[in-house]
Amino acid sequence: MKLSQKTALITGASGGIGAVIALCFAEAGAKVLLGYGQNQQGAIDVKAKIEAGGGQAELAGFDVTDEAPVEAAFAKFATQNQTPGILINNAGVFSIQPLMDMRAKDWDEAMRLNLRGTFLCSREAVASGTCRVIVNIASIAANLSHEHLNHYCAAKAGVVSLTRNMAREFGPAGVRVNAVSPGLVWRETLDDEWPQGVEKWNNTAPLGRVVQPKEVAKACLFLASDDAAAITGIDLTIDAGISVVLPF
């Protein structure tokens, strides 16, 4: 098991990609700290699934965008002897909004949840002295332009840039930092929410399909494992090849 005897904190683990990453890491032998903001029930459900499969999980509820709660959470990890050796910065927010309709609070929310939280959790993880791997969930939007996604694209571009800079700064201390940038990822409501877009994506992507959440999770698992011991500062794209043919 790739992550046996290791502890991993996954932020935004109460649902979506974060929940799948948590399940994947638990299957690989890690003790998983399920970071969540408001969706405690979702985190409880993920914990139950992990334990039903014989894995280990603990709830870790705190606001990743607020400095004091982040510091308190890592202090609590230390007192409980479960400071994470692996940090997956997955918590984020996605919204579609024209720039001219956007208020400052909308911009700030995108920056807080997608970028500020990554900074705060990474800082505290490295300060703990036990973290050796950070994986940041970015997006192919970081390197592309998308209609009505100005705030999201800017925030995810910041995540990619932060990843490279942290890799340089923390490398001498033995900490590896990488990013994973998914394209369109499947979810149960996707076909109903964006049928024309999904059809166009499937007809354009070289692999002819969208990305599955477990494929993102497995990429994170690889980067967190010793198999990637010489890899730091990269942005790993997982998009069924759509980036090579965009714009579509």
Query: Quick one: pLDDT at residue 92?
Result: 84
Query: Quick one: pLDDT at residue 193?
Result: 85
From the candidates 77, 152, 170, 201, which is the catalytic residue?
152
Tell me, yes or no, whether 120 lies in a domain.
yes
Question: Which residue has 């979810």 as its token pair?
Answer: 187
* 152 carries an active-site annotation: yes
Query: Quick one: pLDDT at residue 109?
Result: 85
The domain that holds 119 is classified in CATH as 3.40.50.720
Tell me, yes or no, whether 245 lies in a domain.
no
Tell me, yes or no, whether 113 lies in a domain.
yes
Q: What is the DSSP code (8-state) at residue 211?
A: B
Tell me, yes or no, whether 244 lies in a domain.
no
Tell me, yes or no, whether 53 lies in a domain.
yes
User: Is 136 within 8 Å of 89 (Cβ atoms)?
Assistant: yes
Tell me, yes or no, whether 1 lies in a domain.
no
43-57 pLDDT tens trace: 999 999 999 999 999
Helix residue spans in 58-210 (DSSP H) = 67-79, 104-111, 117-127, 150-170, 190-193, 195-204
- Extract the residue ranges of the chain whose pLDDT is less than 50: none
Reading the block at residue 140, the tokens are 């192919």
Tell me, yes or no, whether 247 lies in a domain.
no
> Is residue 48 within a helix (H) or strand (E), and if so which, with residue range?
helix 40-52
Query: Quick one: pLDDT at residue 148?
Result: 74
Q: Based on the structure, what is the number of domains in the chain?
A: 1
Q: Which domain holds residue 54?
A: 7-237
